[in-house]
Amino acid sequence: MNRLLSHAFILLCASSLVLADDSSPLYFSAIPGALVKAKTRLAAGDKQLAKALKKLVADADKALAEVPPSVTSKEKLPPSGDKHDYMSIAPYFWPNPETKDGLPYIRHDGKVNPESRDAKANDSPAIKIMGDNIEALALAYFFTGNEIYAEGAAKVARTWFLDPATRMNPHLKYAQAIMGVNDGRGTGILEALNLSVAVDALGLLADSKAWPKDDQKALKAWLRTYHDWLLQSDPGKDEHHAKNNHGTFYDVQAVRIALVIGRIDPAKRILQEAKRRRIAVQIDPDGKQPLELDRTTSFSYSRFNLFALTELATLGEHVGVDLWNFTTDDGRSIRKAIDYMLPYADVPPKPWLLPQIKDKHESEFMPIFRLATLAYGGDAYETIIAKYEDASSKRFQLLFVK
């Protein structure tokens, strides 16, 4: 295909899409019914959503041009000697200046060691590319109906999950190792968040010839093995018991994959437990998140965990578990945490006086605020979103359509 989808073609596509049936596609990361609603509005000529579609298609075109990533592409071997095992180095740990060999590595919270981003020895860059590309390609296929995007997503998925020569083994034993201390930690499970998004998005290919039922069946077999490891392994249990954002994102990943493979009861159980394990523990009555404020990048981690909580609440909508409106007797709730951060993400923002050793990115609150609008109503959240110049082109406009 020629350098894919000019602006004129996108507008034409948006106005002439053949709609799917009334049932929502299997994509649990979006608000139930949102994708069909967005597709309907695009077909009716919605120019605002067309901006988001244009950006999505551009992301998908870029993904088509990239070589599908694989865990077998790294040069360094994991401790097992098997390149099919995922491996990475803990990002906040650095060589020890007090020892000749730099071991054991020591922690500098919030300061990323470049070693942990080196693709020659870490799979963390590759798993993010894989997740981002599959999501963009699968969504582009859903909204445009163009099989080239389904073919691209399927190619990336087969490379990462199914091809015997390149597939990842379904575990994360060697993720976020601390050099000189261990070969991997439960905290590394956080890096598979992109993996869970990818396998969720592949549900959008259900009607494409590029992703036959045998491939989906093989993927689900892989996911069942991985999900068992996630729930039953010592690293998985460690992450499950984490009280901060690691525990929240563990829940997000475990629930999302459970929904993809049809383990509805475990998904509901984790979501119900999140009321007391996450919301009641992580949020103060005034909306502060003390476990995230106790970091050198307290603003970033406050947003990060809040994003995880809103993702959990979105997943809960698919199975009838309401986290949006859960409130403890003393007033702890997701809404309280969002409202606490509201002035700090305004334009201009209220000054953040707590530790933050790297740049803040207030615009990253936009998806959270849109979800808050859908959950709670009112104009406060949308008023702030409208102040960001690029808001109309963001993907959340399609996933969390008003």
In this prediction, residue 26 has a pLDDT band, given cuts at 50, 70 and 90, of: confident
pLDDT of residue 25: 79
pLDDT digits (tens, 9 = 90+) for 70-121: 999 999 999 999 999 999 999 999 999 999 999 999 999 999 999 999 999 9
3-17, 244-258, 280-294: least confident range: 3-17
Statement: residue 265 has pLDDT above 50: yes
Arithmetic mean of pLDDT, 144-160: 98
By C-alpha distance, which of 74, 77, 76, 108 is closest to 90?
Answer: 108
Domains, the chain, ranges and CATH?
262-402 (1.50.10.100)
Single pTM value for the model: 0.94
Statement: residue 205 has pLDDT above 80: yes
